[in-house]
Amino acid sequence: MDEKNMSGGDRVLTNRQGHPIANNQSQRTVGSRGPATLENYQFLEKITHFDRERIPERVVHARGFVCYGEFEATGKIGDEPASKYTRAKLFQQAGKKTPLAIRFSTVIGGRDSSEVARDPRGFAVKFYTEDGNWDLVGNNLAIFFIRDAIKFPDVIHSLKPDPVTFRQEPNRIFDFMSQTPESMHMLTHLFSPRGIPASYRHMEGFGVNTYKMVNAQGETCLVKYHFHPRCGIASLTAEEAAKVQGQDFGSASKDLFTAIERGNYPQWDMYVQIMEDHDHPELEWDPLDDTKIWPEMDFPLRHIGTMTLNRNVEDFFNENEQIAMGTGVLVDGLDFSDDKMLVGRTFSYSDTQRYRVGTNYLQLPVNQAKNAKVATNLSGGTMSYRREMAPGQNPHVNYEPSIHNGLTESPVEQPNNPPEIHGRLTRSVLERRNDYVQARGRYCTMMDWERDDLVFNMGDLLGQCERDVQERMVWHFFLVHDDYGRRVGEKLGISADDVRKLGPLPKQILTDEDQRRLQNLGNNGDRIDPTVWGQWTSSVKNYKASAEEVLMGKLPNEGMTRSQAAE
């Protein structure tokens, strides 16, 4: 299809009120960086419909596995007292243990789909703290496909089965991705072996979004969360994954369940990256952009504790199907940033849980705040079985304020002094997009076998796509790295000369470096040199696992240290 004809005629996008949608790329925000505003009608209409597209299983992350454990704090953030950055109680004392539940999952497939499909893996942790629950809802990959939540239904629709054939179609996936340059970093991760972890025990976890910490003085900082497995990282090629899938759809759940049952408790070291709380104009990318990582050479990992998993569920339905996470579930000392994905997820997750599980999903045992008192004026709704009342509360008073023994506000409001925001209300993207530079860094920091597998997978799947999609994807790959574009292009019979005629996408903003690369497409002198990029997230050694090791339960139990980067 001619890209110049994609925006007009009788195919204008509208909402269900018949209103034409002139901007389907960005939420309405105060300035380009946010925060987002509640009257985002187009976003709210789109995301609330998306949240209700499937019953009863989850729209995304339908297949998953839950187990329990504990987090043990070091009392520090790196070499400094935790209190310097946050007043959150679970981090303050060395040796303090907080019980938790964790759900690992695949994203796109249904509840009975394969656990060795190429897919991001969910890595969602519910901490049962003394100040109430804290949910950290992340993935095994540090970044995401998009940077604005208004595009979330679109990216998932492109990855889900075709609404006519009900098959996951590469042509649909790459049609969307080819028009979404920001996805190149995530695609370079996902279609490498990191897209098929050998087991849940052998994968990293990331919060993905940018959050904030708040200390006792109300001072805030930006933060990214990491979990690194002590088992090490192990992944499968597509060929080995197909062998596993031919015998076992649930290999990852089996591996984790068996390990815990035999007392081989998996552990992850938890780290954070810290950044001052402002917009950082000195960086060539925006710290609130979920398609970017924070390079560790500039923002080092700081150890804050260890997570140990030591107990399996007793009932799959009650504890797995009904566990409900949400990015808005934060405790005192932790806060939101203006990350546009985080703002959208925070509305969507809780909305989804109320629809899927029910109005009173937080009364279920797996979702209850186990170590904090709960007293609310909420009552009624489907499947309500108790009122959450405080000792001595007047049962006639379910409102606030009242002078007749009702609930009262907390006597002390904790300080929080985030930056002051000024800006015009707008629908726009982040100015510092720089969609190719970090994908180039990832391509360079891969191990050789990972890079070979990435090229094979891209060539194989793009070979099933239409020519216009193939050409645009190869164009993007050349802007990422000469070797990337050349090797994938060779598998498709497409050279730099074949795609040189393509200009930037509509509304795409290229950096000066991108413009220079475009003028020399395929001849930019790129080298495979991981040392140029320093230590990057996910550039640690990745063990090349075999199907036999997965099926026989013989994956390694000892991993690599953070200092052992890709070879």
What CA–CA distance (Å, rounded) separates 354 from 438? 37
> Would you call 61 a catalytic residue per the annotation?
yes
Residue among 465, 445, 417 at smallest CA distance from 221: 417
Residue among 100, 157, 161, 91 at smallest CA distance from 127: 100
Residue 86 CB contacts under 8 Å (≥ 6 apart), including other chains: 77, 213, 214, 215, 333, 334
- The CA-CA-CA angle for residues 437, 442, 447, to 5°, reads 150
> How many Cα atoms sit within 13 Å of 363 on the Cβ side?
17
> Would you call 476 a catalytic residue per the annotation?
no
Active site residue: 61, 202, 226, 476, which one? 61
Token readout for 197 is 């972890």
Helix 152-159 to helix 340-356 angle, to the nearest 10 degrees?
A: 70
b vs e for 186-206, b when ≥16 Cβ sit within 10 Å of the residue's Cβ? Answer: bbbbbbbbbbbbbbbbbbbbb
What CA–CA distance (Å, rounded) separates 287 from 147? 11
CB-based burial label for 157 (10 Å; 0-12, 13-18, 19+): middle
Q: Which helix (H) or strand (E) holds 29?
A: strand 28-30
Q: Is 364 helix (H, G, I), strand (E, B) or coil?
A: coil
Q: Is 308 helix (H, G, I), strand (E, B) or coil?
A: strand
- List, in sequence order, every residue forming a beta bridge with 65; answer none if it has no partner: 104
Active site residue: 19, 23, 133, 139, which one? 139
| CA distances from residue 338 to 146, 190, 358 in whole angstroms, order as listed | 15, 26, 29
> Which residue in the block uniquely carries the two structure tokens 């036999």?
548
CB-based burial label for 404 (10 Å; 0-12, 13-18, 19+): exposed
Token readout for 49 is 């419909």
Residue 26 CB contacts under 8 Å (≥ 6 apart), including other chains: 148, 150, 340, 427, 428, 429
Token readout for 124 is 């969602």
Residue type at position 52: R
Residue 224 φ then ψ, to 5° = -120, 140
What CA–CA distance (Å, rounded) separates 474 from 503? 13
How many C-beta atoms surround the C-beta of residue 426 within 10 A? 13
- Helices then strands, counting H and E runs in the chain, come out as 15, 16
Residue 334 CA from chain centroid, whole number: 18
What CA–CA distance (Å, rounded) separates 255 from 199? 7
What CA–CA distance (Å, rounded) separates 383 from 280? 48
Longest dimension (CA), the chain: 79
- The DSSP symbol for 72 reads E
- List residues with catalytic annotation: 61, 139
